[in-house]
Amino acid sequence: MMADTPNQQTLNIAADWWMRLRDPSATERTTEQWLAWTAEDASHLTAFERVTELAAKLGTLNDITRAQLLAEFAPPLATSRRWLPLAAAAAVAAVVLLGGYLTWLGGDGRAAAQVYSSAVAGRRDVTLEDGSRVTLGGATRLTTRYSRDQRLVELAEGEAYFEVVHNARRPFVVRVGKLTIHDVGTAFDVRRTGERVTVSMAEGRVRIFDQVDGKGGGLEAVAGQAVSYDPSRSAMRVSSTDPAQAAAWRDDRLEFDNEPLAVVVANINRYSARPVRIVDADIAPLTFTGTVRTDAIDDWLHALPQVLPLKVSEVGGQTVLSDARGASSR
């Protein structure tokens, strides 16, 4: 829990929310996201109230002072959001820019990298600098690098569920392995297992590129679709999925659709206190479809030999999977 007194980053986010709520294109979801953010910590609402108070105070400035503030700090707002009062635009500029935003950005317009991670069997909820929300699954690590022109997130390992705040002038981009995902104001889940990637759509749409630079036509995915990338295949695979199950792991369920046992085990190990290890290479490619509850992994392991031709045993504090069809290749 953060202290009730807002820090500069919280004020930056509050100022961004202040503007977003006054955008003509704001929807009920925008309001819901803002309410969720204010409910996270008492300092969030305090910061928002300070921004609102500052806007009211700046409303008493004369026209010349307001015009000077806009010309120096927020010229784009004056043209792209003419519906906003000049005092409102000046207030946001004062909070975000004068209040420390330029310090937050480096001299080249890039922010210092922020790293977020979670423990094995852990879960972590994070609100990013722009108000977008990310939920990290077990043993997950991601890095954010925000600049004036782009919001970049790199998923190094694990799984994360993104609820992105739309900003056409500042795209939200997720890099994961060899894929680049361009968000278009959406909610989606990304799971990385080595170089294998699965993107499951809950809301909205994204465009996915099978190259880091994000160039080319890409593949568009919408709510109700899942896109799987396997480096051994020539193309991404698109399948149907239940949008409500895009991040079933948040309800303690890991969902697998015809995936190699090696991938299944790697993801289970992000939630298992006792590591599971495959000792026979022959069983690693065997595929599994089904649900594994993260709070009942042992039960799943005990039932696994009924589904696949393997043996489950305990060796040195680890659960070992071996081939039941013949001599072990260990």
pLDDT in tens, 315-325: 888 899 999 98
Of 37-46, 81-90, 169-178, the range with the lowest mean pLDDT is 81-90
More confident residue, 43 or 295: 295
pLDDT in tens, 179-204: 999 987 789 999 999 999 999 999 99
Average pLDDT, the chain: 81
The neighbouring-strand residues paired with 240 are: 225
Of 95-99, 147-151, 226-230, the range with the lowest mean pLDDT is 95-99
Inside any domain, residue 175? yes
Is the pLDDT score of 38 beyond 90?
A: no
108 — phi, psi (to 5°)?
-95, 10
Write down the pLDDT at residue 51.
73
pLDDT in tens, 204-221: 999 999 875 556 678 999
Statement to judge: residues 57 and 100 lie in one domain: yes
Statement to judge: residues 315 and 235 lie in one domain: no
Is the pLDDT score of 15 beyond 80?
A: no
Inside any domain, residue 95? yes
pLDDT in tens, 53-63: 666 555 555 55
Domains: count for the chain? 3
- Of 72, 104, 136, the residue at which a domain comes to its end is 104
Inside any domain, residue 13? yes
Write down the pLDDT at residue 80.
43
Q: Residue type at 5?
A: T
By residue range, what is the domain housing residue 86?
8-104
For 236, the token pair is: 């991404």
Statement to judge: residues 239 and 268 lie in one domain: no
Statement to judge: residues 178 and 124 lie in one domain: yes
- Of 45, 73, 104, the residue at which a domain comes to its end is 104
- CATH number of the domain where residue 304 is located: 3.55.50.30
- Of 104, 130, 153, the residue at which a domain comes to its end is 104
Statement to judge: residues 231 and 158 lie in one domain: yes
Is the pLDDT score of 70 beyond 50?
A: no
Highest mean pLDDT among 16-20, 45-49, 144-148, 198-202: 198-202
Statement to judge: residues 165 and 260 lie in one domain: no
Inside any domain, residue 66? yes
- Report the percent of the chain where pLDDT is more than 70: 76
Inside any domain, residue 1? no
Three-state secondary-structure class, residue 155: strand
Inside any domain, residue 27? yes
d(CA 95, CA 11): 7
d(CA 184, CA 286): 36
Statement to judge: residues 239 and 258 lie in one domain: no
Write down the pLDDT at residue 11.
77
| Sole residue written with tokens 């026979």 | 280
Statement to judge: residues 124 and 219 lie in one domain: yes
Inside any domain, residue 3? no
Sequence length of the chain is 330
Write down the pLDDT at residue 147.
87
Statement to judge: residues 208 and 180 lie in one domain: yes
Statement to judge: residues 83 and 157 lie in one domain: no
d(CA 174, CA 2): 27
More confident residue, 295 or 105: 295
For 309, the token pair is: 């031709």
- Report the percent of the chain where pLDDT is more than 90: 50
Is the pLDDT score of 303 beyond 70?
A: yes
Write down the pLDDT at residue 90.
43
Inside any domain, residue 270? yes
Sign of CA dihedral 114, 119, 120, 126: negative
Report the candidate in 142, 136, 134 with the shortest Cα–Cα distance to residue 120.
136
Alpha-carbon dihedral angle through residues 133, 138, 143, 149, given to the nearest 10 degrees: -30
101 — phi, psi (to 5°)?
-65, -35
Is the pLDDT score of 296 beyond 70?
A: yes
User: Could you give the strand order of the β-sheet that contains 318-323, starting from the edge strand earlier in sequence?
Assistant: 276-278, 318-323, 310-315
For 7, the token pair is: 């820090």
Residues with Cβ within 8 Å of 169's Cβ and at least 6 positions away in sequence, in order, are 76
Statement to judge: residues 305 and 277 lie in one domain: yes
pLDDT in tens, 72-111: 444 444 344 443 443 454 444 444 444 444 344 444 455 5
Statement to judge: residues 97 and 120 lie in one domain: no
First and final CA of the chain: distance in angstroms?
49
pLDDT band at 330 (very low <50, low <70, confident <90, very high): very low
- CATH number of the domain where residue 123 is located: 2.60.120.1440
